[in-house]
Amino acid sequence: MIDHKHEFHDLLPLEVAALRRRALKLTSNEHRAQDLVQTTLLKAWTNRASYRPETNLRAWLFTIMRNTFFSDLRKLRREVEDVDGLCAQALAEPPRQVDAIALKELIAAIGQLPRAQRRPLVLMGAYGFSQLEAADACGCTIGTIKSRVSRSRATLSLILAHDEMDAGTLSQRARRSEGVSQHSRRANLHALTSARTH
């Protein structure tokens, strides 16, 4: 219920013209000035109980307007205009669990390799050994390391392909996720098995 006997009913309309002039000076934009005046009047009416009749009403309203203007200005500075949604897309991040699952599957597949194939692959892929360093660590020639890494890559491809065939009853949504997972596994496999040739 609106209090019709409150003195603000008589005093506020007298200050509207002065508020409009001040708002226009602050904003330099007629539409923003109108919004600022309306917000100021609304805040003043909401807080009318805190106004003391012996104080200057115009100064009180200007203080409310100034504080509102600077608060709005701070908000506007933090906002980014994103009409076409490109900024929001740049902030989006693909789900990490797909990559984590793909990495776990790759590690499990590496665990299935024979030790003779697993060790050179891990030394070169995970620890960054060159073919010569891996050959020294395994006590064999570079040619043997090359063939072991080649065989281990082929075996890993078979293991991962077999795992994908076992998962043939996935739902449509899971198939899309599996496509990302398959891509991640291939990328992890390629990164793991690409070696320095020193």
Cross-strand partners of 196: 130
Here the CATH number for the domain that contains residue 80 is 1.10.1740.10
21-59 pLDDT per residue, tens: 999 999 898 999 999 999 999 998 888 888 887 888 899
Greater confidence, 130 or 176?
130
Residue 149 lies in a domain: yes
Q: CA 192, CA 153: separation in Å to the nearest integer?
A: 10
Here the CATH number for the domain that contains residue 152 is 1.10.10.10
Residue 3 lies in a domain: no
123-172 pLDDT per residue, tens: 998 899 999 999 999 999 999 999 999 999 898 888 888 766 665 534 34
* The predicted structure's pLDDT at residue 173: 38
Q: Is the same domain home to 49 and 80?
A: yes
Provide the number of structural domains found in the chain: 2
Q: Is the same domain home to 64 and 151?
A: no
| Half-sphere exposure for 46 (CA within 13 Å, toward CB) | 7
Instruction: Give the end of a domain, one of 24, 54, 87.
Output: 87
Cross-strand partners of 130: 196
Q: Is the pLDDT of residue 4 over 70?
A: no
% of the chain residues with pLDDT over 70: 79
Q: Is the pLDDT of residue 74 over 90?
A: no
Residue 131 lies in a domain: yes
Q: Is the same domain home to 136 and 61?
A: no
| Of 99, 122, 102, 70, nearest in space to 167 by CA | 102
* The predicted structure's pLDDT at residue 22: 93
Q: CA 138, CA 140: separation in Å to the nearest integer?
A: 6
Q: Is the same domain home to 107 and 154?
A: yes
* The predicted structure's pLDDT at residue 99: 81
For the residues of 107-135, what is the DSSP string, one character each? HHHHHTS-HHHHHHHHHHHTS--BHHHHH
| pTM of the predicted protein model | 0.41
Q: Tell me what the pLDDT averaged over the chain comes to.
A: 79
Residue 67 lies in a domain: yes
Instruction: Give the end of a domain, one of 35, 57, 87.
Output: 87
Q: Is the same domain home to 13 and 60?
A: yes
Q: Is the same domain home to 83 and 101?
A: no
Residue 21 lies in a domain: yes
Instruction: Give the end of a domain, one of 87, 120, 148.
Output: 87
Q: Is the pLDDT of residue 8 over 90?
A: no
For 119, the domain range is 96-193
Stretch 95-114: mean pLDDT:
85
Residue 2 lies in a domain: no
Residue 198 lies in a domain: no
| Half-sphere exposure for 189 (CA within 13 Å, toward CB) | 24
Greater confidence, 153 or 99?
153
* The predicted structure's pLDDT at residue 55: 83
* The predicted structure's pLDDT at residue 198: 47
Residue 69 lies in a domain: yes
Q: Is the same domain home to 102 and 153?
A: yes
